Amino acid sequence: MDVHDTAAADAPRRARGRPRKPPEARDEGNRRRELVRSAARLFRSRGFAAVSTRDIAAAAGMRSGSPFYHFESKSALLHAVVHEGLEQAVRSQDALLQALPADAPAHARLAALVRHHMQVLFGPEGDFIPVMLYEWRALSPAQRSAIARLKTAYEAPWMPVLQALHAAGLLRAEPRLARLFILGALNWTVQWYRPEGPLPPDALAEQALALFLGPPPPVFMETA
C-alpha cells in the first residue's frame, strides 16, 4: 500500500445520497409559514400600508432582514398570504364535497358549503379573507389575476347547488346573484362577529341558512 492508499483509507467516508441540510435550512419551510401567518395577522389588524417588513419579522421572532430571504418584497408577502390561504380553502372545500354522499340533496350541500366557509373565515388560518377583501388594490395586476383564478375555483362548486335549489323552487333569487349575496353576507361577518361570544360559528351558519333558504324541506318516509 503506497502513501496514496493510506491517505484514502484514513479519510472519513461520506454518506451517500444528498448532503444533510444545516438546521437553519431544514427549518426553512416552518420559518416561511410563520412569516406568512404573522404577515396575515398584521395586515388584517393594522392594514398593509401601516405594516413594515421589520414588523413582520419581529412578530415572527426573526431578524429584520429575514423576510427578504423568502420574499422579494412586502407585496410578495401579501400575495402569498392571500394565494396560499385561498389554495388551502379550495382544497378543504373539495375534500368536503367529495365526502358528501352522491345523492345528498342541494339543501344539504349548501349547508355544508356555508358551514365550511364559516370555518375558513374564523379558523386559525382565516386572516387571509379580510386581507383579500380590504387590501385587494395593493396587489399587482398579475397577482390579482392569479388570485382571481383561485377565487373562481373556490366559488364554482356553489353554482350547481344554487341552480338546483332555484330549479326546485327553494331559492327565488337568480343563482349567480344569490352566490354574490350569500358570499358577500358571509364575508362581512368578519366585521362584527366574535367567535368567543355565545354563538359558535356553526350556529351562526345555521342562522345564515335560515335567512337564505328558510327551514330545510321535510323528508317523507315511505310506509310499508
Is the full-model pTM beyond 0.85?
Answer: no
CA atoms within 13 A of residue 35's CA, in its CB half-sphere: 28
- Specify which of 127-131, 132-136, 157-161 reaches the highest per-range mean pLDDT: 157-161
Residue by residue, DSSP assigns 133-186 as HHSGGGS-HHHHHHHHHHHHHHHTTHHHHHHHHHHTTS--S-HHHHHHHHHHHH
Q: How far apart are CA 116 and CA 93, in angstroms?
A: 7
Tell me what percent of the residues of the chain surpass a pLDDT of 70: 82
Using the predicted structure, report yes or no on whether residue 1 has a pLDDT greater than 80.
no
C-alpha cell at 146: 392569479
pLDDT in tens, 172-191: 899 999 999 999 999 999 99
Whether residue 28 is contained in a domain is answered as: no
Asked if 156 contacts 198 with a C-beta cutoff of 8 angstroms, the reply is no
Cell of 111: 349547508
* 1-15, 32-46, 157-171, range with the lowest pLDDT: 1-15
DSSP 22: P
CA distance 155 to 183: 9
In a domain, 5, yes or no: no
Q: Among candidates 132, 212, 221, which has minimal Cα distance to 178?
A: 212
Q: Distance between CA atoms of 214 and 87, rounded to whole angstroms?
A: 31
Give ∠ CA 49-35-66 in degrees, rounded to 5.
90
Structural domain total, the chain: 1
- What are the pLDDT digits (tens) for 10-36? 444 544 444 444 444 445 668 889 999
Would residue 66 count as lying in a domain? no
Measured distance CA(54)–CA(141) in Å, rounded? 26
Q: Which domain holds residue 175?
A: 74-213
Alpha helices in the chain (DSSP H): 3-10, 23-26, 28-46, 53-59, 67-70, 74-99, 106-122, 128-134, 141-155, 158-167, 175-192, 201-213
In a domain, 47, yes or no: no
Neighbour tally for 53: CB within 10 Å: 18
Residue 61 per-residue DSSP state: T
What CATH number is associated with residue 202?
1.10.357.10
